[in-house]
Structure 1
Amino acid sequence: MTRTRPNLRIAVLLAAGTMLAAPAMAQAPAAGGPELTKVAAFDHQVTGVTVAKDGRIFVNFPRWTEDTPVSVAEVKDGKLIPFPNEEWNAWRNARKDEVSARDHWVCVQSVVADPKGNLWVLDPAAPAMAAIVQDGPKLVEIDLAANRPARTIAFDETVAPQGSYLNDVRFSPDGKTAYLTDSGARGALVVVDLESGKARRVLDGDPSTQPDKGVTVAYDGKPLRRPDGRGVEFAADGIALSPDGRTLYWQAIKGKTLYALPTEALAAGVTTALLPSALSDKGVANKVEVVGENGPADGLIIARRDGRMYVTSPQDDAIKVRDLSAKGSALTTLIQDKRLRWPDSFAEGPDGTLYVTTSRIQDSAFYKPDAPAALPTELWSIKLGAAEATGSTSPR
């Protein structure tokens, strides 16, 4: 991994207590389409974003191609505030033998606010998406009233084995269960009983959690490949949960298929061990359904405001939308814009505003050896309205 000098310069644009960009950053919508507004610009590669019930915005920066000085931060008063404090953000590659991975951010991939209003941080603890740091994989709940960690659920090798990369998380409406994707070489889902802290991998190696055969992730009309010829190989990545908590959705980035599963099929396997893992996994696999084809996609979210699924489409610099109420409905383009360079993760604000990060994965040192280790990225917002009910396209 390449180390860089700690650089905390972050450009964030705020106005009137909300995160709004200067007028020059906004692109006028076409044919009644939504407006894309730059909310923040960062000096480092961002992935996750979430907005708490009270409107507080949090982001995270994984240690992929740089030893980033901040892993989790709150965007506040025009600045990035290391969260929950500087100590939790103090882990560095050079200090890994002197700083505990149990209570420091190692390589955070996702931040998500739960239905109760607290923040959860998912740390796969695999810098450069390579070897997992011992005792590092964890899911940490932070009490936003006190701004301090409330509990840590540590994952051992049965949940986060070498080769795994825990990616994203969703929470049941009752706050009792968490559902995670593993986008690593061993693609799977992980179900966590939040009351007991017990977790279990499911659909480990199942076709539904693996990259789709024959699918190539391309950009600018060419297959996206590393210098050694490897392409994008991310397995189960994007994840979404229906508002009633009854249906879980996911897909691989290197894939086109959106899958779904009734969450009741996952409940018993976490807290009991009545069946051998192979038998119970077979029963779960039999209940997986194909919803449709999204094409290669990264982030998924089902918006509270309208119950529709929003999908990031990195190949197209686009955000697309699916009406889940109509079985077999086609995926339509909500907005397509060159500034959405690898749209990554979604969040929904209390007022229904949609937020999306652009992680620029195709521009990173993984795929462009001459790229800077510290890659500038952005956070964008989209105001949704009735005009987007059928989907529309903004000019490129």
Structure 2
Amino acid sequence: MPRPTSPACLLTALLAGSLLAGPALAQSSDLSSAPARAGGATLTKVADFAHQVTGVTVSKDGRLFVNFPRWTEDSAVSVAELKDGRLIPFPDDAWNAWRNARKDELSAKDHWVCVQSVVADSRGNVWVLDPAAPAMAAVVKDGPKLVEIDLRTNKPARIIAFDESVAPQGSYLNDVRFSPDGKTAYLTDSGASGALVVVDLESGRARRVLDGDPSTQPDKSVTVTADGKPLRRPDGRGVEFAADGLALAPDGKTLYWQAIKGKTLYGISTEALTGWLTAAVVPSGLADKGLSGKVETIGENGPADGLVIARRDGRMYVTAPEENAVKVRDLSAKGSKPAMLVQDARLRWPDTFAEGPDGTLYLTTSHIQDSAFYKPDAPAALPTELWSLKPGPAEATGSSGSPPAR
């Protein structure tokens, strides 16, 4: 029987309890996993997973965490620590006990429903962002949340719940970054109506901003491709992800984002965003002209998913799913274009970045183009990978969009 391909059909399959196996490490049959060098960078496979991975993060003491969203399967583990070659449910089995097929048995408030991102902060915590929308469809009531886990105790320290004013039906909270002072979180929403979300971490107060603004929406002029062809579902729909990739300048003063179905990188002063947190009245959506007018066009990246500004060199690294590649952008060079850093056929939809304490970059490959959303015969449990990337010196790539001549 062919697999379902629409979110509604996929969710029906999940609720029926299909494929409840956990995210075990897969045995790799890829004999080309040795380090590859390109553009001054070294790319090395760290792990193979038997399930679809999206997020990755590394704590300041080197602990490595990944997450597995419930998109096309009811994964038995949502968040895990990768330790000694094993995946350990994190923070414990209880938080990972939710199943779509048994959703009425457990509270969505204190269980992982459909985790999209894990991000370590500079204070010894890991934050887990749960949009609570299995199959990227209906948002589970009381499920959207941002959870702080104290790595000294491996226990949740704070749960910031998001109501419908922040995570309405149709939303899919995607990525998160934290201000250097630890007081503010910034999120993207890549769902039906793209937006940013600003969170006061001390009070838990959150506000949805730039909802419907052109900078947070899919670009109608862009068609996302894979393997040289437009990427479409069997019913003809293409990739429609809105504001997704997110990066924060090291000084915390500028936030950057872009849509996957887009080509333009945008930025805004974080002072403007945090000002709206304390405003008595905040106009919503396209009426938010005051904030919209402060959005800056930084340049073009082409369709991109993950963004990160590395502490090691201050450059922005960009995943390029269409090209199986990672690019790098010099934000200090006005009018520059991203340069190709590494291009490798094994980078099937490079997704999320994390930077380790030694400056090594980690990135996941989520194989979105190979999933049951786009290929009806694809396995619901989709094999994916985790990679490490060691960039060369800053001068290894130029700002003209091409590696320097050798």
TM over 0.5: yes
**What is the distance in 2 between the residues matched to 1:127 and 1:182?**
15
2:276 match: secondary structure? helix
Any unmatched runs of 5+ in structure 2?
A: 1-10
Deviation at 1:274, TM superposition (A): 4.2
**What is the distance in 1 between the residues matched to 2:60 and 2:308?**
16
Counterpart of 2:257? Answer: 250
Assess if the C-alpha contact under 8 Å between 1:12 and 1:39 holds in 2.
no
**What is the distance in 1 between the residues matched to 2:288 and 2:267?**
15
1:268 to 272, 275, 285: 275
Assess if the C-alpha contact under 8 Å between 2:188 and 2:246 holds in 1.
yes
**What is the distance in 1 between the residues matched to 2:284 and 2:241?**
24
Any unmatched runs of 5+ in structure 1?
A: 14-21
Deviation at 1:263, TM superposition (A): 0.5
Evaluate the alpha carbon distance shift between residue 270 and residue 298 of structure 1 in structure 2; reply closer, same or farther with a 3 A threshold: same
Counterpart of 1:142? Answer: 149
Deviation at 1:309, TM superposition (A): 0.2
Counterpart of 1:362? Answer: 369
Deviation at 1:33, TM superposition (A): 2.3
Assess if the C-alpha contact under 8 Å between 1:210 and 1:235 holds in 2.
yes
User: Match for 2:60: what amino acid?
Assistant: K
Assess if the C-alpha contact under 8 Å between 1:314 and 1:341 holds in 2.
yes
User: Match for 1:181: what amino acid?
Assistant: T
Counterpart of 1:29? Answer: 37
1:344 match: secondary structure? strand
Counterpart of 1:19? Answer: none
Counterpart of 1:17? Answer: none
Is 1:152 the equivalent of 2:146?
no
Assess if the C-alpha contact under 8 Å between 1:336 and 1:393 holds in 2.
no
Evaluate the alpha carbon distance shift between residue 35 and residue 393 of structure 1 in structure 2; reply closer, same or farther with a 3 A threshold: farther
1:45 match: secondary structure? coil
Q: How does 1:96-107 map to 2 (within 5 A)?
A: 96-107=103-114
Q: Deviations over 1:92-149 (max 9, x none)?
A: 0121101100000000000000121210000000000000000000000000000000
2:288 match: secondary structure? helix
User: Match for 1:76: what amino acid?
Assistant: K
2:188 to 173, 181, 185: 181
**What is the distance in 2 between the residues matched to 1:54 and 1:285?**
39
Is 1:55 the equivalent of 2:75?
no
Q: How does 1:343-354 map to 2 (within 5 A)?
A: 343-354=350-361
Q: How does 1:375-390 map to 2 (within 5 A)?
A: 375-386=382-393, 389-390=396-397
**What is the distance in 2 between the residues matched to 1:67 and 1:369?**
17
Is 1:4 the equivalent of 2:4?
no
Assess if the C-alpha contact under 8 Å between 2:213 and 2:285 holds in 1.
no
User: Match for 1:105: what amino acid?
Assistant: W
Deviation at 1:387, TM superposition (A): 6.4
Assess if the C-alpha contact under 8 Å between 1:269 and 1:280 holds in 2.
no
Q: Deviations over 1:246-272 (max 9, x none)?
A: 000000000000000011101121133
User: Match for 2:25: what amino acid?
Assistant: I
Evaluate the alpha carbon distance shift between residue 8 and residue 183 of structure 1 in structure 2; reply closer, same or farther with a 3 A threshold: closer
User: Match for 1:292: what amino acid?
Assistant: G
Counterpart of 1:16? Answer: none
Assess if the C-alpha contact under 8 Å between 1:115 and 1:174 holds in 2.
no
User: Match for 2:34: what amino acid?
Assistant: A
Assess if the C-alpha contact under 8 Å between 1:12 and 1:79 holds in 2.
no
Q: How does 1:85-164 map to 2 (within 5 A)?
A: 85-164=92-171
Assess if the C-alpha contact under 8 Å between 2:43 and 2:387 holds in 1.
yes
Q: Deviations over 1:75-106 (max 9, x none)?
A: 01110000000000000012110110000000
Assess if the C-alpha contact under 8 Å between 1:71 and 1:107 holds in 2.
yes
**What is the distance in 1 between the residues matched to 2:371 and 2:311?**
33
**What is the distance in 1 between the residues matched to 2:27 and 2:191?**
32
1:175 match: secondary structure? coil
Assess if the C-alpha contact under 8 Å between 1:198 and 1:271 holds in 2.
no
User: Match for 1:175: what amino acid?
Assistant: G
Counterpart of 2:4? Answer: none
Q: Which deviates the most, 267-276 or 131-140?
A: 267-276
Assess if the C-alpha contact under 8 Å between 2:175 and 2:188 holds in 1.
yes
Assess if the C-alpha contact under 8 Å between 1:12 and 1:78 holds in 2.
no
TM-score, scaled relative to structure 1:
0.94
Deviation at 1:393, TM superposition (A): 6.2
Q: Which deviates the most, 270-279 or 287-296?
A: 270-279
Evaluate the alpha carbon distance shift between residue 119 and residue 7 of structure 1 in structure 2; reply closer, same or farther with a 3 A threshold: closer
2:86 to 55, 65, 79: 79
1:89 match: secondary structure? coil
**What is the distance in 2 between the residues matched to 1:78 and 1:252?**
34
Q: Percent identity?
A: 77
Count of aligned pairs between the two proteins: 385
Assess if the C-alpha contact under 8 Å between 2:213 and 2:286 holds in 1.
no
User: Match for 2:24: what amino acid?
Assistant: R
**What is the distance in 2 between the residues matched to 1:101 and 1:191?**
22
Evaluate the alpha carbon distance shift between residue 207 and residue 275 of structure 1 in structure 2; reply closer, same or farther with a 3 A threshold: closer
**What is the distance in 2 between the residues matched to 1:239 and 1:136?**
22
Q: Deviations over 1:207-262 (max 9, x none)?
A: 00001121000011110000111000000000000000000000000000000001
**What is the distance in 2 between the residues matched to 1:336 and 1:148?**
39
**What is the distance in 2 between the residues matched to 1:325 and 1:52?**
28
Q: Which deviates the most, 127-136 or 89-98?
A: 89-98
